[in-house]
Amino acid sequence: MPLSLDDAVAQVAGLRPTGRHVVVGLAGEPGSGKSTTATALAEALVAAGMSAVVVPMDGFHLAGAALARLGRLDRKGAIDTFDGSGWLALLRRLRRVEHGETVWAPDYVRGLEEAVAGSIEVAPDVEVVVVEGNYLLVDEEPWRSARAELDLAWWVEVPQPERIRRLVARHVRHGMSEEAALAWASGPDERSAALVRATRERADAVLAG
């Protein structure tokens, strides 16, 4: 059975080490609801008396110009279109906060379709950082080392027809035609989803998306 949000909050509350942030990861296929679930979890943690902030892996998308130069723009979202080593470095900083350091994380701006550095403030007194992204559980470097930096890692799951519907709607909302959105969801998105799907067993538990 998937964890309820209340169960998830209770598990996080049971950790709460002193001197560093708790880092909780939400992984799942494209369109599974990771961002929405991460926001809901952070809000539930705050309601339970903990401070929390959400940091998406999407902030580590390579820039469009870089993808064009590398010949990868037509499959943006694939694992090699992210700065995995940069993601690992951020997680290590979050786990080893020193001297009251504020960590500034990048965010991904939909519409602009680019990552923007220094967008998300993780103050030293934040207790829980909820991170989310497709590739958090991939068993190859640098993603394998990044998985080791997570105190908990949960898989966000939704029925496949709903996941595809959400993906297509997202692409249309950000400027694609219906035909182009369907082609992208069944092409680059599905190739990414197949890779991500194979990592499900590395999660600690499942959350409904």
Alpha helices in the chain (DSSP H): 5-13, 34-47, 64-70, 84-95, 143-147, 160-173, 178-186, 188-197
Strand, helix or coil for residue 142? coil
Please tell me the CATH code under which domain 5-208 is placed.
Answer: 3.40.50.300
Instruction: Give domain limits for the chain.
Output: 5-208
Give the pLDDT confidence score for residue 170 in this predicted structure: 86
Q: What pTM, to 2 d.p., does this model score? A: 0.91
For the CA atoms of 198, 180, 209, 193, the dihedral, rounded to the nearest 10 degrees, stands at 0
pLDDT at 174: 80
Q: What is the pLDDT along the chain (209 residues), one digit of tens a residue?
A: 789 999 999 999 998 766 789 999 999 999 999 999 999 999 999 999 999 999 999 999 999 999 999 999 988 889 999 999 999 999 999 988 766 889 999 999 987 889 999 999 999 999 999 999 999 999 999 999 999 999 999 999 999 899 989 988 888 888 888 888 888 888 888 888 999 999 999 999 999 87
- Give the pLDDT confidence score for residue 112 in this predicted structure: 81
